Chains A and B, each alone.
Chain A
Amino acid sequence: MIKDKLFKIWVMAKKNINLYIKKGPVIIFGLMFPFFMTLSWVLGRDISQNQIFVGIIAMTTFFTSTAISPIVFPIETREKSLERIISAPISLNQILLGIVLASALYSLLISSIITLIFIIIFQGLFSSLLYIFLFWLGIILMSILGSLLGLLVSAIPTDKTSDVMLIMNLIKFPLLFISGMFTPLDVLPFPVVVLSCLSPLTFLIDIFRYCVDGHSFFPYQIDLLVLVLWIIVFFIANGYFHRKTMPKRF
């Protein structure tokens, strides 16, 4: 029974990857945006190699994880295929998990490849395997969290991807700017630090800094816990809001 449920989630995820990986919004907001954001941030500035690495991977993970999940429902509402899925023998939770899994896997793959390239080019980024594991755990958690955030925004019962992407960007950019990515938390004034705690990205960057610099603003256990709590909150919120808005799509 559970095996069957998990298999259907996997089938859904595979379908989402196959159908949406090459869609315009995924390429623009998932790959091009973080690439050009990084270029504009790095070029002509005196930033340490570690800070660039942390910034690039955090931005890549955040942007790629929020690329697929927000567009699935609007596109499938427009193309009517959502009705086929809703009337198929699969629960809404399985449908949601199929989207999260696709989006998270996409993010995990891109972020892991870029991390690997950095590890190869800049040798000595990590002083031990434990840091690599922790770094990768951070990527995994952020991939899931970002996917859930994107999915949550797509609870708006629209069939236009532009509507969802607009709101997504309105949320993403403030979260990025208050996350301490551009300026480390320990040099920020206290009120700004409090504000930055509202962004889950802050805790990811803090874990990344711990892994490459050996020190962080919060203990890494707190960072991990906060990310897990955000995942739980987003998961519950997704179930609640999608259940409420799903009938309005038909």
Chain B
Amino acid sequence: MNESIAISASNLTKKFDDFTAVNDVSFKIFEGEIVGILGPNGAGKTTTLRLLTGVYKLEEGEKIEIFNENLKDNQINCKIKFGIVPEISNAYSDFTVLENLEFSGKMYGLSKEEIKNRSKILLERFELLDKLNAKTKTLSKGLKQRANLCLALLHEPPILILDEPTSGLDPISVKIMRKQILEFRKAGKTILITTHDIKEAQTICDRILIMNKGKIIADANPDTLRRDFKSISTIIFKTEKELDSKLMNYPTLIKRSDGTFAISSENVLKDLSELYNSFTLKNQIQISDVKIQETSLEEVFIDLIKNDSTKKKGVKND
């Protein structure tokens, strides 16, 4: 990854009548970076992508630059730099895979020879050669998504935009898709990916933007998110005997359904030592099977969304 900016978006806003889908969103994506946009349904992820790809017109004050070129002024030059894989296949269903590739290639200004050669390479790579003359409407979802990848890559774009690329796919197709995304990274492509799958984001993304209600509420790499946004780990343990009411009031202690206890901890070593003092030394209650559970990105995500929603409700009530 280098420091040149592939995508720079400033003050993006999109309203649908009274509903604000994207609210003053700004971000930068560096060349070669894999950035994930995470968020619940209706957070504004797809709308943001549609603003980036020129599907929605930018209003006064909004700005998108693709490799320093203004999208408003150079729509054609900017659009050619994108390869887009949508959540639901948008290839022509009555065209065969080959016809779709030919049409797409011509739209992106490729010569017949280039279309032929590149199609062959891509179809081989995505194991679609035997489906060359099959109408796309006859393909399974996984195959359709692979065909979409071929269409997105045909003109060799430097930026790939993937909208929920593994949503609803079978495990084999998910594996192929993830492997490909990592190979694109190796090839130096800039990738912007929206996903519901937090584990996927954690595995493949260099940086994560968390969106909620049209705004970016967090922008950091997965590890920083875990560390900075919710540095609380959970200490899980068993006890030899029942706890009396005094110990049950121990700060943040929760009795779990499996009979174990859990304590939230911002400083595991300190809390473990206090736990030992309170339980074992003062009350002669042995603790065993101690486990430390790291906060997952999923918990960070849920926490951030919950806090953001509570904050917004609070503001509204004020």
Chain A residues near B (Cβ < 8 Å) = 4, 7-8, 11, 15, 18-19, 79-91, 247, 250
Give the residue name and chain of the B residue nearest to A79 (CB).
Answer: B93
Q: Which residues of A contact B80 (CB under 8 A)?
A: 89
Best-buried of A19, A83, A84, A91 by chain B (most CB within 10 Å) = A84
Q: Which residues of A contact B50 (CB under 8 A)?
A: 83, 87, 250
Summed over the interface, the residue pairs from A and B with CB atoms below 8 Å come to a total of: 69
Q: How far is the CB of A162 from chain B (nearest CB, A)?
A: 19
The yes or no answer to B212 lying at the interface (CB within 8 A) is no
- In the complex, are the beta carbons of A80 and B86 less than 8 A apart? yes
Q: How far is the CB of A213 from chain B (nearest CB, A)?
A: 44
Contact flag A11-B103 (CB < 8 Å), given A87-B82, A89-B76 = yes
Give the residue name and chain of the B residue nearest to A15 (CB).
Answer: B103
Q: How far is the CB of B206 from chain A (nearest CB, A)?
A: 24
Docked Cα-Cα span, A15 to B91, in Å, equals 12
Q: List 8 A-B contacts (CB under 8 A).
A: A11-B107, A18-B95, A80-B88, A81-B90, A83-B86, A89-B79, A91-B75, A247-B57
The yes or no answer to B28 lying at the interface (CB within 8 A) is no
Q: How far is the CB of B96 from chain A (nearest CB, A)?
A: 11
Q: List 19 other contacts, CB 8 Å, given A79-B93, A87-B53, A90-B107.
A: A8-B107, A15-B92, A15-B95, A15-B103, A19-B92, A19-B94, A82-B90, A83-B55, A86-B54, A87-B50, A87-B55, A87-B82, A88-B108, A89-B79, A90-B76, A91-B75, A91-B76, A247-B55, A247-B57
Q: How far is the CB of B4 from chain A (nearest CB, A)?
A: 22
Q: Which residues of B contact A247 (CB under 8 A)?
A: 55-57
Give the residue name and chain of the A residue nearest to B103 (CB).
Answer: A15
Question: B65-86 CB contact bits vs A (8 Å, 1 = yes)?
Answer: 0000000000111011010101
Of B94, B99, B107, the residue contacting A88 (CB under 8 A) is B107
Give the residue name and chain of the B residue nearest to A86 (CB).
Answer: B55
Q: Which residues of A contact B175 (CB under 8 A)?
A: none
The yes or no answer to B109 lying at the interface (CB within 8 A) is yes
- In the complex, are the beta carbons of A89 and B92 less than 8 A apart? no
Best-buried of A8, A18, A79 by chain B (most CB within 10 Å) = A79
Q: Which residues of A contact B91 (CB under 8 A)?
A: 81, 84
Residues of B265-312 contacting chain A, CB below 8 A: none
Residues of B11-55 contacting chain A, CB below 8 A: 50, 53-55
Of A15, A18, A84, the residue contacting B84 (CB under 8 A) is A84
Best-buried of A15, A82, A89 by chain B (most CB within 10 Å) = A89
Q: Which residues of B contact A84 (CB under 8 A)?
A: 84, 86, 90-91, 104, 151
- In the complex, are the beta carbons of A88 and B79 less than 8 A apart? yes
6 closest pairs, A vs B, by CB? A80-B90, A87-B53, A89-B79, A89-B76, A89-B80, A84-B90
Q: How far is the CB of B91 from chain A (nearest CB, A)?
A: 7
The yes or no answer to B106 lying at the interface (CB within 8 A) is yes
The yes or no answer to B145 lying at the interface (CB within 8 A) is no
Q: Which residues of A contact B166 (CB under 8 A)?
A: none
Q: Which residues of B contact A4 (CB under 8 A)?
A: 109
Give the residue name and chain of the B residue nearest to A88 (CB).
Answer: B107
- In the complex, are the beta carbons of A8 and B106 less than 8 A apart? yes
Q: Which residues of B contact A79 (CB under 8 A)?
A: 90, 92-93
Q: Which residues of A contact B107 (CB under 8 A)?
A: 8, 11, 85, 88-90
Q: Which residues of B contact A83 (CB under 8 A)?
A: 50, 55, 86, 90
Q: How far is the CB of B138 from chain A (nearest CB, A)?
A: 14
Best-buried of B84, B106, B109 by chain A (most CB within 10 Å) = B106
Best-buried of B53, B82, B107 by chain A (most CB within 10 Å) = B107
Q: Which residues of A contact B190 (CB under 8 A)?
A: none
Q: Which residues of B contact A8 (CB under 8 A)?
A: 106-107
The yes or no answer to B89 lying at the interface (CB within 8 A) is yes
Q: Which residues of A contact B77 (CB under 8 A)?
A: 89
Docked Cα-Cα span, A23 to B93, in Å, equals 13
Q: How far is the CB of A178 from chain B (nearest CB, A)?
A: 38
Give the residue name and chain of the B residue nearest to A10 (CB).
Answer: B106
Q: Which residues of B contact A18 (CB under 8 A)?
A: 95, 99
Q: How far is the CB of A26 from chain B (nearest CB, A)?
A: 13
Q: Which residues of B contact A85 (CB under 8 A)?
A: 107
Q: Which residues of B contact A89 (CB under 8 A)?
A: 75-77, 79-80, 107-109
- In the complex, are the beta carbons of A80 and B54 less than 8 A apart? no
Q: Which residues of A contact B109 (CB under 8 A)?
A: 4, 89
Give the residue name and chain of the A residue nearest to B81 (CB).
Answer: A89
Docked Cα-Cα span, A247 to B55, in Å, equals 7
Q: How far is the CB of A157 from chain B (nearest CB, A)?
A: 12
